[in-house]
Chains A and B, each alone.
Chain A
């Protein structure tokens, strides 16, 4: 009897403590709006430092962008952004853990805090920037939606596609773009939308669809998975602007800056001729711009909340943008993508990063 009495008292006490405790927690952030903001500002960087790695959202397997090999090692230009951030924060590019996400899961995973940043061939659009509570930290690949068709159909232009069966992936802007394109040109089509990219490839390969549409980089990557990649061609039309880039949660400006400047550092490094091989020696170069980038002059790293050799670590461990591009998607890789608009502004492209000064 006594025991039961004690148990009840204990439960009541615990409940009171629980209620009291949470009401205190609730009041804590209330006093001043500015205080909550400062608290949010450093939240991600501190959390990342505390757990010792960057949790990075990537694709479920898109060769050249983010793809895991047989041993589970992730590679690609999207992965290199994650590794760059890890190098900037920890001085060690390997301190990244990857979360493969479907296009449907990606924003929820980021918004809920499951991942610290999203680097997953994600298009920067106004809706996503303004309505989803997210911020795009830059563009690491300028892409556009295109069409892949079997060469044997003899189609030369996307304008000949009236009546086609088109396969795509759900949860992407591709569905909207392709619908707009066909409406605009007064053509009919039938859309078959799968959840997984691999299912789209399988359906296209089996002939369920005549046309496969997604970003052209994606087409180049997925084509390598087809039974006979050479029997298919990408049509010349580009029907959308798809600037792909890394994404962070809105409201944490410091973390946003770290991701943005990691990307900027890689682009600037290519422009200045700093590579993974020569970064250490070039830190003592005469050029002040290079000195500022590599941390031998000024306190730019400290302003980001990082060490001063943040960019040196990125470039020596991950490489500059050009190295990353050549290694994963360039002409010497299975994707065979020319630099095109993704060349530096000084070389006929539109890649242009703000200077470090």
Chain B
């Protein structure tokens, strides 16, 4: 008896047994929770006479969506397009905001972050005030501010603010710009453009190599634009200028609802999109500015002093000494901000921008009533977008981080 219990306690106290035991327990509990959740869901759905299934994706959708990149890309037509199209239109509009937002927020964020460290009194305090206001006001309020307070006071639908002498126009229904019409042969021009970019890239590598070896490089500032413009331009002329433009058309006569900017001329950026983009960009830029400032301060001041004693100018010091070292500190939190921006784009539902949550998990969900399937699809979509962003940023981080030798 005594020996037995001793054996048992020895068995239980064995680190390996305990290790495995806890893992089995945790996995068991997890598997049970998942099973219980699913079983519970299925039972309750059955009790309410509802079924699971993705058959709704091929049904046609019967409601209008406002003109955006997504509806243009997928040729949305009521009564013809399916709920699958709605899903992809939603994703397109979400990604559009995410990509543009990330680009603009990064540019503004880096600028403001560096301004906060400037010796120029005005720049420094302007940046500080910007960051403190933007970071401390809820995003949804900022969204309403841009949409209702700023864009809401633009001229009405039958008036306009002309821009560039009538090439474009702005009123409360949106920003109207010339739109390109691609003629046959434009594909080749595009290919030429890509080719010129590749040639420019190769040229810059050769120049860098030459500079490393001899200290003498080419003057890339002129060579690269010259390369790109000449190659693309020559192809464009050879192909017979395969690019037309349609310009916004503003009418002051005719039936009242036909006045204002015409549907079939130029392109429109709806105010909902402009407001979402403004709010998300400026909000996220405030956070990025702080991350950039923290990253730069974290680089030891000795580095700057050493650089100055070598006779490097402040701008070169910042570009070649400080920023590369700051990047490894900046990138991980920057990734979080990019993810936040993407997910925050779902707030756009409040001001009628037709992104994924608004049209798919909103309008379409109400028509079809498949909550579980549709919310699952939307959640998975955000997850995948976020994972791809993280993956790319991790790859980028691995490239810029300090290589331990």
Contacts and interface: CB of A to CB of B under 8 A. Distances in A.
Interface stretch (B59-67, B103-111, B128-136): B59-67
Nearest to A187: B257
A175 B272 contact: no
A192 B257 contact: no
Contact of A160 (B65, B257, B365): B257
Contact of A163 (B39, B156, B258): B258
B13 A5 contact: yes
B232 interface: no
A202 B352 CA distance: 12
Among A12, A154, A175, A193, find the residue whose CB has the most chain B CB atoms closer than 10 A.
Answer: A193
Nearest to B5: A5
Interface stretch (A90-98, A102-110, A287-295): A102-110
Among A104, A132, A206, A249, find the residue whose CB has the most chain B CB atoms closer than 10 A.
Answer: A206
B351 A194 contact: yes
Contact of B256 (A26, A108, A155, A206): A155
Contacts of B49: 133, 250-251
Given A160-B256, A171-B362, A250-B49, A11 B63 contact: no
Nearest to A134: B48
Interface in A170-186: 170-172, 175-176, 178-180, 182-183
Contact of B66 (A12, A188, A192): A192
Contacts of A192: 66, 270, 272, 352
Interface string B67-101: 10000000000110000000000000000000000
B25 interface: yes
Given A133-B49, A193-B352, A193-B358, A165 B78 contact: no
A5 B63 contact: no
Given A103-B366, A165-B173, A170-B363, A182 B64 contact: yes
Interface of B: 9, 12-13, 18, 21, 25, 28-29, 32, 36, 39, 47-50, 62-67, 78-79, 148, 152-153, 156-157, 172-173, 255-258, 263, 270-272, 349-352, 354, 358-359, 362-363, 365-367, 369, 371
A11 B26 CA distance: 11
Contacts of A154: 256
11 contacts: A11-B25, A19-B32, A127-B367, A127-B369, A164-B257, A170-B358, A171-B362, A191-B66, A193-B362, A208-B173, A251-B48
A15 B29 CA distance: 8
A164 B148 CA distance: 20
A22 interface: yes
Interface residues of A, number: 62
A165 B261 CA distance: 12
Contacts of A208: 152, 172-173, 271
A108 B157 contact: no
B259 to A, nearest CB: 8
Contacts of A163: 255, 257-258, 263
A15 B352 contact: no
B255 A160 contact: yes
Interface of A: 1-2, 4-5, 8, 11-12, 15, 18-19, 22, 26, 40, 103-104, 107-108, 111, 127-128, 131-133, 153-155, 160-165, 167, 170-172, 175-176, 178-180, 182-183, 188-196, 199, 202-203, 206-208, 210, 249-251
A163 to B, nearest CB: 4
A206 B146 CA distance: 13
A185 to B, nearest CB: 13
A131 B257 CA distance: 39
